[in-house]
C-alpha cells in the first residue's frame, strides 16, 4: 500500500480555506485527501502554465472557490493558495492570483530543499 503524502500549507492558504463555507471546506478537504493518497481528485484539473500544479474547483451558492496545490515537490503536497474567484470576465484565473501562486510555488521549492 502506498504511503499517503502529508500536506504543507504555504502562506495564508490554510486560513483562507477556513473562511470558505463549511460544505466547500468539506469538498476541497476530500479532494486534498484523495491527492494525499495518490488519487487524482474528480474536482481537480491541471493549472495552465504550471507543471505538477493543480486546482480543486468547487461551485457553491453561485460562487466558485479554488484551492491550488503542488504535488511534485519532495514528499509533501504543498497547498499554495485558496481563494474565491470573483472575476466576471470568464473562467481565466486573474493575473494577481497567478502571480501569488508563482511566488508561493517558489517558496514551496525553497522549503522542500531546506533553504527556507
pLDDT digits (tens, 9 = 90+) for 46-58: 999 999 999 999 9
Q: Which residue has the cell 493549472?
A: 47
The domain ranges of the chain are: 6-112
- pLDDT on residue 107: 96
In CATH, the number for domain 6-112 is 3.30.2310.20
Average pLDDT on 53-65 reads: 94
Whole-model pTM: value is: 0.92
pLDDT range class, residue 94, cuts 50, 70, 90: confident
Give Cα separations from 13 to 3, 18, 49, 68, 88 (angstroms): 24, 9, 20, 9, 23
Tell me the mean pLDDT in the region 75-101. 86
- Got the DSSP string for 69-112? EEEEETTEEEEEEEEEE--SS-SSPPHHHHHHHHHHHHHHHHHH
Amino acid at each position: 500500500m502506498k504511503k499517503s503524502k502529508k500536506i504543507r500549507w504555504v502562506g495564508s492558504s490554510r486560513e483562507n480555506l477556513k473562511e470558505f463555507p463549511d460544505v466547500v471546506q468539506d469538498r476541497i478537504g476530500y479532494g486534498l485527501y484523495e491527492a494525499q493518497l495518490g488519487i487524482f481528485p474528480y474536482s481537480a484539473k491541471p493549472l495552465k502554465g504550471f507543471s505538477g500544479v493543480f486546482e480543486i474547483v468547487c461551485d457553491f451558492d453561485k460562487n466558485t472557490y479554488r484551492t491550488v496545490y503542488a504535488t511534485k515537490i519532495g514528499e509533501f503536497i504543498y497547498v499554495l493558495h485558496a481563494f474565491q474567484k470573483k472575476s466576471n470576465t470568464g473562467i481565466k484565473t486573474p493575473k494577481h492570483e497567478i502571480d501569488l501562486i508563482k511566488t508561493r510555488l517558489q517558496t514551496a521549492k525553497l522549503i522542500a530543499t531546506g533553504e527556507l
